[in-house]
Amino acid sequence: VGHTGGRNSFFKALLLGGLKESGQTVLDIQASEKAFEALLYYTYTLQIDLESVADYIVDVFIAAGRYVATDLRNMLEGCISIDTSLTNLQQTNFIPLGVIASNLDVDNVASLLILADQESAPRLKQACIDFITTHFEEVQQREEFTQMLDTIIAILQKGRL
């Protein structure tokens, strides 16, 4: 089974026959090539270079969830949840500034809130809600936010039930 199957339940089931795809010679990978490479690298080494995946960190986060890399998914959820407008980044000193700069901001908070809801990512969801609350004047002016407003309202209402 090697490192991949031993460290990841999805790959273990895939390699040992627990999934229907086990007998296939070609697999349909539902992730970008870069995201899947980062996932495999993490699975083998238990390491990830956050700066090298900064531009596609959300894709790696989704792939980690899809392919049951829970530790990686949780770490990336925390990275994505960082408010880029923070002036005091001491609490994030373990995350490279290039990674922080590519995360939560007024331009992407609406889509990240929807993603957090779809991917059952409670820390990211709460970070998005907090960001919207804190920066509402700026966020409400973004076209993406107004286009997704009905979905955002539904998410917020669901959270109160």
Q: Tell me whether residue 57 is exposed, middle or buried, using C-beta atoms within 10 angstroms of its C-beta: 0 to 12, 13 to 18, 19 or more.
A: buried
Return the minimum-mean-pLDDT range out of 4-18, 22-36, 78-92, 103-117: 4-18
The residue among 4 and 58 whose pLDDT is bigger is 58
Model confidence at 79, pLDDT cuts 50, 70, 90, reads: confident
**pLDDT tens, residue by residue, 80-139:** 887 666 544 444 555 655 555 457 889 999 999 999 999 999 999 998 999 999 999 999
DSSP per-residue letters across 46-103: S---TTTTGGGHHHHHHHHHHTT-HHHHHHHHHHHT-BTT-S--GGGTTS-HHHHHTS
Question: What is the Cα–Cα distance from 127 to 60, expressed in whole angstroms?
Answer: 19
Q: What is the pLDDT of residue 30?
A: 79
Q: What is the pLDDT of residue 22?
A: 56
Q: What is the pLDDT of residue 19?
A: 54
Token output for 141: 């002016």
- Determine the 3-state secondary structure of 160 from DSSP: helix
